[in-house]
Amino acid sequence: MRFLIMGPPGAGKGTQATAVAEHFGVPAISTGDIFRANVAQGTPLGIEAKRYMDAGEYVPDSVTNNMVRDRIAAGDATDGFLLDGYPRTLAQVAELDGMLNDAGHELDAVLVLTVDREAIVERLLKRAEVEGRADDTEDVIRRRLEVYAEETEPLVSVYDERGLVVAVDGMGEIDEVQGRIFAALDARTED
Ligand code: AMP
């Protein structure tokens, strides 16, 4: 199983990605987590990425694409993976197509979590407060949502035209959303 999970910031992508990947026995590969680990370790990649992340902008494709190429070539991802947070731009879609094509693989599905925009601003502001993320100001949160709408939302129709999209309502409790995801994916894999 090779698939993607997409959704705006605050849609609960990361939490759901971990559970779904475990269910299918594949690694969940989150570009955001890889960037954050690099920031925490102060690596050159982390220092470069932090500037963009703090502003709510995307890290340049040149940096992100190479990082993903290396990660999906790792041994634990040879039989499948769930990509969380990649691709996020049309150029990254083309890059991922190339990576998969080189390896003779194809995507099986693109899971899209749909949410209510204002509800997620509230959710993100609360999370920033609870986790003491001082850099997650309302301006940065709104910028992240804007960048998502401009750069990433168009990817949904690209994958929809390929017949890959599995859309799931991401509003509600974690378990409830997880149940919807499994039901939607099971229905699809039975086809
Ligand atoms: P996430 O945890 O997925 O919300 O990612 C956190 C941040 O990492 C994003 O706001 C971006 O700055 C950066 N990032 C993660 N994935 C990508 C990507 N595919 N392309 C560019 N930037 C990314």
The string of pLDDT tens digits covering residues 141-171 is: 889 999 999 999 999 999 999 999 999 999 9
Average pLDDT, the chain: 92
Pocket test for ligand 1, best of 31, 63, 96, 143 (most atoms within 8 A of CB): 31
117 is catalytic: no
pTM of the model: 0.92
Ligand 1 atom closest to the Cα of residue 147 is 10
**pLDDT value, residue 134:** 61
Q: Rounded mean pLDDT of 120-130?
A: 84
C-alpha 121/C-alpha 146 separation (Å) is: 11
Element (H, E) at 43: none
What is the pLDDT confidence band of residue 72, given thresholds at 50, 70 and 90? very high
Kindly report, residue by residue over 23-33, the tens digit of the pLDDT: 999 999 999 99
CB of residue 35 inside a 6 A radius of ligand 1: yes
Burial environment of residue 49 by CB neighbours within 10 A (0 to 12, 13 to 18, 19 or more): buried
For atom 14 of ligand 1, the residue with the nearest CA is 32
Cβ-proximal residues to 137 (8 Å cutoff; 6+ apart), any chain: 128
* DSSP calls for 45-96: HHHHHHHHHHHTPPPPHHHHHHHHHHHHTSGGGTT-EEEES---SHHHHHHH
**pLDDT value, residue 135:** 63
pLDDT surpassing 80 at residue 50: yes
Active-site residue identified among 2, 71, 123, 144: 144
180 is catalytic: no
